[in-house]
Amino acid sequence: MMTIDDYRVRFGWSRAHMAREAGIDVNTLRSAINGSPVYRAKIGQVTEAINRELKRRGEQPIKYTDLAGVVFAD
């Protein structure tokens, strides 16, 4: 399993870029990467951004539950 930050690095994205792609605040993304609790809806948005990039690369999508190290607030 890969972490959010693993995908970010793999895609060559900055944290700010990933947050923009996901439509979330960079502080929320930072919290998720650092293992602080984050709402499932926000992780869902991150997963959608990851999946758009995976699709662009011709790779299989993931589920939000596939992300390692995520702590849910709800």
At 38 the pLDDT is 98
CATH number of the domain within which 56 lies:
1.10.260
Task: Confirm whether pTM is higher than 0.85.
Answer: yes
CB 55 within 8 A of CB 61: yes
Residue 45: give the domain boundaries: 4-72
Measure CA of the first residue to CA of the last residue in the chain; give whole Å: 22
If one counts the domains in the chain, the total is: 1
Please give the Cα distance from 40 to 7 (Å, whole number): 18
The structure tokens 């709800």 sit at 74
CA atoms within 13 A on the CB side of 13: 21
At 16 the pLDDT is 98
4-50: pLDDT as tens digits:
999 999 999 999 999 999 999 999 999 999 999 999 999 999 999 99
At 8 the pLDDT is 98
Q: Does an H or E element contain 31, and which?
A: helix 26-33
